[in-house]
Chains A and B, each alone.
Chain A
Amino acid sequence: MTDGSQPWTSRFTPRTLKDLAGNKRAVGRLLSWVRSWERGVPERRAAFLFGPPGVGKTSSVVAVANDLGFDLLEVNASDYRTGKRLDALIGRAAMQSRTVLGRRRMILIDELEGVSGRQDQGGISAVARIVKGTRSPVVLVATSASEGWEEKFRPLRQVSLLIEFSPVPFADVLRRLKTVAREVGVDVDEAVLEFIAERSRGDLRSAINDLESVARGRDRVAFSDVEWLGERDRQEYTPEALLKMFSAKTLRDARRVLASAYIKYDDLFDWIYENLPLVLDDPRDLAEGLDALARADIHQNRARSTQAYRLLKYMFNGMTGGVALARRRSEGAGAIKQIRSKLRRLGFPPSTFTVSETPDGVVVKPVRYLGRDWGRVNAELRGLGGRWARDEGRWVIPYFRPPQLLWRYRRTWHGRRLRKSVAARLAEKCHISTQEAVGEVIPLLKIIFQGDRGMAREIAGWLELEEKEAEWLRS
């Protein structure tokens, strides 16, 4: 391996069976199925490999072909979206069991999830036809989210040996990363490798990609170099999971997101709560969905306080299915409505911006030069998770946004700290609870501090307030 310009994922792609990481059982089934062709055409002429991305589905096929001496004909199905073109390419090859040079042949049809299942185009039925007549082993590969079987694969499932691939275990990912780091000669902290392995969720390819992105061209990588990856992960992955959850039509599908989302369910709960009103913009749906969420909170608290964790399943059902299935009349236009109303509130006539929905989010583009106003608009849209794309001269605001509560807590930290210290002084001096101090006395105290300087000075002295506390009461 000397070609340093190659991406590491292809440089370290397994060539033989012993290089494969994880999924031993699945690979074993594939191997014995291919071997069975030596005794003649088996009942199932195709093997259907499915599973999450980056777990070695395609690599296994390549390794098996290499080790058993097959000539592999590889087709990327998403490049040939219609049946006619697939037929032309592999139909004939499948009718012959050997190449012109006499080598046995194996056919790999990859990325099946990209093939059209519609009747008129018939990509899937073309593949099914190929499978029925083939005299060489055909391996079909599809990337699917967990067991999310799409209806369109039904004709293929019936004629194929189904082999499921699972995420690669953490230890195997870690071992592989260590090998890669050693071979490229970069000194990478163990903690970094563990962090990358952990966040890969068993996707070995993405783990190697991540390693390359932090380690290529360096001698040493420390943990501080990779912390940002964690942030990126949360931001990119969770909205996807939310989209799936909100569009689920069955409780089962909605619940499944919980299992596949790689964040703690408490965090997912907050994400759902934050974005729910953007999706459920019909009052009836909103009330129903939020009630389901509020009841989920109660189920969780009961589970916690009684330690009867079996009760958690009711929480899970409520926060996923309860919310998703409440969506019956909503248009899901909450995000764009909110953005329009924010812009109006800032005092701009609607004609100042074009506001449109795109796959990336809501796009806000000023029609005229904003000058000094730009800062104001930017601050407001950033609050909604928006980003200014300078090259295109527009803001893009994603449809789903991270929970705002934490952000709000962080932003108001200073004021809350002062309020807390004033409340503690009041509680002691006035023989009340800090809660009463905050709820009843501080609002009146603020009025006093803003209205009567003399009285304020006297009270500040009596409470022994520091200047910045008094200032906070005046503000």
Chain B
Amino acid sequence: MSSGMWAEKYRPQSLDEMVNQTEIVSRLKRFVQERNLPHLLFVGPAGVGKTTSILALARDLYGPGYRNFIMELNASDERGIDIIREKVKFFARTAAIASEVSFKILIMDEADSLTTAAQHALRRTMEMYTRTCRFCLIGNYSENIIEPIQSRCSIFRFSPLSEEDIKSWIRTIASKENVRLLEEGVEAIYQASKGDMRKAINLLQAAAATRGGEVDDVVVYSVLGRVSPKRVREMIDLGLRGDFIEAREVLRSLLVDEGLAAEDILRMIYAEVLRLNIPERWKVRLSDAIGEVDYRLTQGSRPEIQLSALLAKLVLAGEEMGR
């Protein structure tokens, strides 16, 4: 079997292959045995097995042709609830013929990014097609899902993976791929992944590609240094040194040339600011400013302006610290 991205190649195909989230997995297995399931709501941090669980369940339920009976939507990629409803309508119109199960499964990732109004519309859609379609909504926080949807779903709370879960799994992958993975490399990957299995595997693969299949901490850090945070750091440094205009150029290049989302850039700025060699008091003040921008990103319509305003605050902070 040849699969390009290791994160996909080593994704568990069946609920039986899943070693983590044992509690959840055993409950899901019962649904498969009964050939029936309720609407599902999976919540938990990134990379802990939410999507993997529902895909494995679907394969166990429908067999190898499971792809015909599921549809995956990502709420953050769809333009508006109306388009989502159209897609759902089209998908759920027909029952799952050619299967001993009478319903199909619609998987909606990042459901918690939908607005309240959109969620209410989604709830009506869920009710309309309950006979032919089950919904599996996936998100990071259940608080962002409206109560009426929560009460119609079985809620599964995925817990963060343990350090050992992640470390042993990437060791397994490394040995299967003939990668010499040193213990310092394991540690560096784990630290960078912050408990996100997919991130850890992707990082392992990129690190393995850089230096002929030997991975230590130096390689991992060089990979990390080559991805975006480096430019984010450059932007912050330019700001602190007082060169707003050049800092803004970098910001624009991140937004436009690299196509990063403002939220992602802000997250990186936050992480970098905490690492800066500046008085602790300033970290608190900057964190406050970042928090304000984080909120404003949900309120404004021009993300670049909001991030620029933060850069201007960095310039001011740099000036005041220098005094």
Contact = CB atoms under 8 A, between A and B. Distances in A.
Nearest to A428: B72
B98 interface: no
Given A287-B312, A451-B210, A277 B77 contact: no
B228 interface: yes
A228 interface: no
A409 B256 contact: yes
Interface in A315-355: 334, 338, 341
Interface string B286-313: 0000000000100111101110110011
B218 interface: no
A183 to B, nearest CB: 49
Interface string A416-434: 1001100100010111111
Contact of B246 (A341, A415, A445, A455): A341
Interface stretch (B153-161, B163-171, B198-206): B198-206
A439 B76 CA distance: 14
Contacts of B8: 429-430
B contacts with A: majority SS: helix
B243 A435 contact: no
Interface string B251-289: 010001111110010000000000000000000000000
Give the top 8 A-B pairs by smallest Cβ distance, nearest first.
Answer: A462-B4, A459-B4, A452-B209, A294-B309, A443-B227, A444-B206, A451-B209, A448-B209
A440 B46 CA distance: 12
B209 A294 contact: no
Given A439-B261, A444-B223, A462-B3, A297 B305 contact: yes
Interface stretch (A107-115, A157-165, A300-308): A300-308
Given A429-B5, A447-B206, 5 more contacts: A283-B318, A297-B302, A416-B256, A443-B228, A452-B210
A283 B247 CA distance: 13
Contacts of A419: 259
A447 B202 contact: no
A415 B257 contact: yes
B297 to A, nearest CB: 10
Contact of A433 (B110, B210, B300): B110
Contact of A438 (B202, B260, B315, B319): B260
Interface residues of B, number: 58
Interface string B192-233: 000000110011011011110000000000010011100000
Interface in B93-118: 109-110
B260 A298 contact: no
Interface of B: 2-5, 7-8, 51, 55, 72, 74, 76-77, 109-110, 198-199, 202-203, 205-206, 208-211, 223, 226-228, 242-246, 248, 252, 256-261, 264, 296, 299-302, 304-306, 308-309, 312-313, 315-316, 318-319
Interface in A394-424: 404-405, 408-409, 412, 415-416, 419-420, 423
A286 B244 contact: yes
B76 A273 contact: no
A341 B77 contact: no
B264 A283 contact: no
A405 B253 CA distance: 10
Of B76, B110, B202, B211, which is in contact with the most chain A CB atoms at under 10 Å from its CB?
Answer: B202
Interface string A119-149: 0000000000000000000000000000000
Given A297-B300, A404-B252, A430 B306 contact: no
B299 A302 contact: yes
B315 A435 contact: no
A370 to B, nearest CB: 24
A284 interface: yes
Contact of A432 (B74, B208, B228, B312): B74
Nearest to A460: B4
Contact of B252 (A278, A286, A405, A433): A405
Interface of A: 273, 277-278, 283-284, 286-287, 289-291, 293-294, 297-298, 300-302, 304, 334, 338, 341, 404-405, 408-409, 412, 415-416, 419-420, 423, 427, 429-435, 438-441, 443-445, 447-448, 451-452, 455-456, 458-463
A234 B237 CA distance: 36
Given A409-B256, A427-B77, A433-B76, A444 B227 contact: yes
Contact of B257 (A278, A290, A412, A433): A412
B301 A297 contact: yes
A304 to B, nearest CB: 7
A438 to B, nearest CB: 5
Contacts of B109: 431-433
Contacts of B4: 429, 455, 458-463
A458 B2 contact: yes
B257 A462 contact: no
Contact of A447 (B223, B244, B309): B223
Query: Considering residues A293, A341, A444, which has the most beta carbons from chain B within 10 angstroms of its beta carbon?
Result: A444
Given A287-B313, A448-B209, A462-B3, A338 B245 contact: yes
A412 B308 contact: no
Nearest to B318: A283
A247 B260 CA distance: 36
B201 to A, nearest CB: 10
Contacts of B243: 341
B239 to A, nearest CB: 10
A293 B309 contact: yes
Among A286, A289, A304, A405, chain B packs the most CB atoms within 10 A around the CB of A286
Nearest to B2: A458
Contacts of A427: 74, 77
A291 B202 contact: no
B206 A462 contact: no
Contacts of B301: 297, 300-301, 304
B312 A416 contact: no
Contacts of B306: 294, 297
Contacts of B228: 439, 443
Contact of B7 (A404, A430, A438): A430
Given A290-B308, A298-B296, A439-B264, A434 B316 contact: no
Contact of A405 (B304, B315, B316): B304
Contacts of A297: 300-302, 305-306
Contacts of B199: 440
Contacts of A341: 243, 246
Contacts of B246: 341
Contact of B77 (A301, A435, A462): A435
B137 to A, nearest CB: 14
B256 A412 contact: yes
A340 B248 CA distance: 17
Nearest to B202: A444
B121 to A, nearest CB: 16
A294 B299 CA distance: 10
